[in-house]
Structure 1
């Protein structure tokens, strides 16, 4: 009879194998549907994850159920590397998301964000011209500022200041409050005649819907705040996934030991 650990590894890897199929199909579907640069990374993640789960789960399934020690050893080796990878990424994510927060403004329902408040690693990513051109293209294609303009189109100045804006809306779709522009609409502001601004974002602002504040430091900071929030959620999932991997790895070690004992008895 198969031992409990072998059966358990087999069941867990069967579930992983079944899970890998819709993940892989989703990645292939996204690769056919993606029409903007925003989605290129997402389809790659799904395809790589789907192929990885498919191969590893098959190795674990055959190794445990058919008592093929070499496959089970390969499975455990890959699992060990995966545990190290997930652990390293989780620690890294905790470190780089530890800095950065929005600044509370007086009599404002929203916050403003400064690029210098975030980790150097994050700053280097968005200060790279190639990276930012791609991100900016994504933000434009997402129409976040078009929706912003429509959502708050009927607001007067006092009501607009009381709105609870997202970090991207605050950083990319309106000028910084320090510019003191004249409000004419959520994404339409009249610059002062002097044009002497201490904040370079004030010069970068343009009422053109394709420009707005997409070239501003506040937009980069708003994007990092949104990214930081997502990374924190991913980190929590990673911790749960890491615990699951350690449990599966421990059970797999027991199954490998059982295989060695059975082979030795033969």
Structure 2
């Protein structure tokens, strides 16, 4: 067996092993899907990704190790679309996350987030009622706001200490009212109106000290989610670029293995010059 076949077989065996925990995690989420909308929202992409990796890996492994030309052709065909999809996703991710960022707040370390700063396909998807119901359920189930509480010497965190905290976009957008509203700090997730509203934001009336409501219906929460998605998608895009480079190298090795299989199927000795074989015998010496 040629070196290229051996490499393809080894690589696909490793990716097949990797697909098992991915697929298992998706199935586990599916078994828990009746408990929260958050898990229902996440289960199917994981199952599809795990199953796709498993099938492609099996095809590549069998095609290389058992010298099956059809399976190798199928493997290369699918790999081509995987590479094309990754390229498309990287470009798409950078395009849809091009706009939007947090705004600095006077005398605060954390940023505030405004939905109008985010425009495009991703913003439309996140703010739509069908998607936002699932996303807000995820945030509520994660208890991210409940985990913000801090104490110092047995006393709750003061306003001055809270104002110098570096909150992530979800904590800032969903767990507190926008700074523009002029609410008075009581604790991390309890704020009372003080001195009237300083802004005209609808979020000022949407805020609730009910720990099950907070600002989950606010535009600032949606903007915080968009900021979090932008950060995550940019990180994923970097990983995808690295994976893309690896897949291109594997694809080239796979092409070499495919040519080896065809050469063996045709009983061609390895290294035979194609130009020699293609020339009419009358001019061979």
TM-score by length of 1: 0.92
Query: Mean Cα displacement is larger for which, 245-254 or 9-18?
Result: 9-18
Change (3 A) 1:182 1:22: closer
- Alignment correspondent of 1:123: 123
3-state SS in 2 of match to 1:73: helix
Deviates further, 79-88 or 56-65: 56-65
**In the TM superposition, what are the counterparts of 1:63-212 in structure 2 within 5 Å?**
63-148=63-148, 150-151=149-150, 154-192=156-194, 197-212=199-214
* Structural mapping, 1:9-20, within 5 Å: 9-20=8-19
The match for 2:246 among 244, 247, 250 is 244
**How far apart, CA to CA, are the structure 1 residues paired with 2:171 and 2:263?**
62
Alignment: residue pair count: 264
1:51 aligns with 2:69: no
Contact 1:204 1:213 in 2 (8 A): yes
Q: Residue 165 of structure 1: SS of its match in structure 2?
A: coil
Deviation at 1:225, TM superposition (A): 1.0
Q: Max radius of gyration: which structure?
A: 2
CA distance, structure 2, for counterparts of residue 57 and residue 185 of structure 1: 52
* Deviation (angstroms), 1:171: 0.7
Within 1, Cα distance between the matches of 2:107 and 2:197? 25
User: Structure 1 CA distance, aligned partners of 2:15 and 2:217?
Assistant: 44
Q: 2:236 aligns with which of 234, 237, 242?
A: 234
Using the TM superposition, give the Cα deviation of residue 178 of structure 1 relative to its aligned residue in structure 2, in angstroms: 0.9
1:245 and 1:27 map into 2 onto residues whose CA distance is 24
Structure 2: any 5+ residue segments left out of the alignment? 269-285
What are the ranges of 5 or more consecutive residues in structure 1 without an aligned counterpart? none
Q: Judge conservation of contact 1:97–1:119 (CA < 8 Å) in 2.
A: no
Alignment partners' CA distance in 2, 1:59 and 1:157:
60
- Give the secondary structure class of the aligned counterpart of 1:210: coil
The alpha-carbon deviation at position 112 of structure 1 amounts to: 0.5
TM-score (norm 2): 0.87
- 2:220 corresponds in structure 1 to 218
Kindly tell me: are residues 41 and 214 of structure 1, through their superposed partners in 2, closer, same or farther at Cα, counting changes over 3 Å? closer
Deviation per CA, 1:60-118: give whole Å up to 9, x if none.
11211221111111110000011001110011011122222111112101001111222
Report deviation, 1:243.
0.8
Deviation, 1:194, is: 5.1
SS at match of 2:266: helix
Shift in Å, 1:196: 8.3
State the distance in 2 between where 1:234 and 1:39 align.
Answer: 20
**Alpha-carbon distance change, 195 to 104 in structure 1, aligned in 2, over 3 angstroms:** closer
Structure 1 residues 158-196: Cα deviation after superposition (integer angstroms, max 9, x where no partner): 222122111111111111111112222222222247568
CA distance in 1, matches of 2:5, 2:41: 36
Runs of 4+ in 1 over 6 A off after TM superposition: none
Q: How much has 1:49 moved relative to structure 2? A: 2.0
